[in-house]
Amino acid sequence: MPKARTFQDLILTLQNFWAGQGCLILQPYDIEMGAGTFHPATTLRALGPRPWRAAYVQPSRRPKDGRYGENPNRLQHYYQFQAILKPAPDDIQEIYLKSLDAIGVDPGLHDIRFVEDDWESPTLGAWGLGWEVWCDGMEISQFTYFQQVGGIDCDPVSAEITYGLERLAMYVQNVEFVYDLAYNEHFRYGEVFHQNEIEQSAYNFELADTDMLKRHFEDAEKECKALIGGNRKMALPAYDQCIKASHVFNLLEARGVISVTERAAYIARVRALAKGCCEAWLASPMGEYKPRYAAHAEDRS
């Protein structure tokens, strides 16, 4: 198997691989979020009885991890590649290992291991058991069997696999400084993102208007509650507001204006929103769709 030589090769290879496993290849969600798990294609689709398989790249923003473009591998904006399979196939570990082979990690030359690492997201009220996957001592993926999301049991259980793309690419390309990665044959990663990291770090740590952000948080919270309050069960738009609140909270934290006690309270508020959205989702058709014209359904089969 040839190596995924460039950053975008890596993405294309993973997309092809997971498409071959029957996954929908979705596109990034168009709201800022801290991790691919927040994408409704994972959070909400992990709930309820309906089978689901999807894979997508998700730009992930961690305002606190900004290092003004100076740190070799820490970024406030990076890419996760995420695959979610529900129910988790019996041979999901084997499938995952094949994906490593596909991107050029030869298991005959490397030391690949599954090391205990249980996953928990206090803001989503979600947790699962699984591992971080090590390749020669480096964590290259997170592997989780979802147990709960929004405080609700996942039944059936989904398997979620997350690849940190930059880190994996640095490994495959043997690069020490993330910005030196070859994005494709013509551009370096730094040409795409270095300036972004400098400016966004300044925004996250110094410039973001905290009073405005606090208002945004309140607004998003209010809107979210309004969309799922009473008899309204607008799970999807409400969940958008929940993601927004979560990101605004991350920004406020990076700006250092949230004390330890306030922090716990903010997390509890976002968790309450997430829980409400998940409950609304379960009370909804959960994505059910019957083709409007029979012919289309026949075409498909």
Partner 1 sequence: MPDFLLELFSEEIPARMQVAGVKDLERLVVGGLSDRGLLFEGAKSFSGPRRLALAIAGLPAKQPDTREERKGPRVGAPEKALEGFLRSAGVTLDQCSKQSDAKGGFYVAVIAREGRATAEVLAEIVPEAMAKLPWPKSMRWTAGTTRWVRPLHGIVATFDGEVVPFEFANVKSGNTTFGHRFLSHGPIQVRRFEDYEKKLRDAHVILDAAERKEIILHEVKQKAFALGLELVEDEGLLDEVAGLAEWPVVLIGRIEDDFMDLPPEILRTSMRTHQKYFALRSPGKESLADRFAVVSNMAARDGGKEIVAGNERVLRARLSDAKFFWDQDRKRSLESRVDDLKNIVFHAKLGTQYERVERIEALAGEIAERIGADVAMAKRAARLCKADLTTGVVGEFPELQGVMGRYYALHDGEAPEVADAVRDHYKPQGPNDAVPSAPVSIAVGLADKLHTLFEFFRIDEKPTGSGDPYALRRAALGTLRLIFENRLRLSLLESGLSDDLLEFFVDRLKVVLRAREIRHDVVDAVFSIRKDGDFVRRVDLIEALQNFLKSDDGSNLLVAYRRAANILKVEEKKDNRSYDGRPDPKRFATPEEGALFEALSNAMPQITDGIMEERFGDTIRVMAKLRPPVDAFFDEVIVNAPEPELRRNRLLLLSRLRATLHLVADFSKIEG
Distance of CA 117 to the CA centre of its chain: 17
Q: Are 179 and 193 in contact (CB under 8 A)?
A: yes
Subset of residues 113 to 132 that bind partner 1, contact rule: CB under 8 A: 113-116, 118, 128-129, 131
The yes or no reply on residue 57 touching partner 1 (CB under 8 A) is: no
Q: Give the residue from 223, 234, 205, 248 showing the smallest Cα distance to 69.
A: 205
Residue 191 vs 262, nearer CB to partner 1: 262
CB 128 within 8 A of CB 119: yes
Q: How far apart are CA 223 and CA 232, in angstroms?
A: 12
Interface with partner 1 (CB under 8 A), residue from 16, 19, 25, 136: 136
Phi, psi of 266 (to 5 degrees): -60, -45
Answer yes or no whether residue 202 interacts with partner 1 by CB under 8 A.
no
Helix (H, G, I), strand (E, B) or coil at 32: coil
Q: How far is the CB of 118 from partner 1 (least distance, A)?
A: 7
36 in contact with partner 1 (CB under 8 A) = no
Binding mask 157-176 vs partner 1 (x if CB under 8 A, - otherwise)? Answer: x-------------x----x
Among 30, 111, 185, 206, binds partner 1 (CB under 8 A): 111
Between the CA of residue 22 and those of 19, 56, 171, what are the distances in Å? 5, 13, 27
Contact positions toward partner 1, by CB under 8 A?
71-73, 87-90, 93, 97, 107-116, 118, 128-129, 131, 135-138, 145, 147, 153, 155-157, 171, 176, 259-261
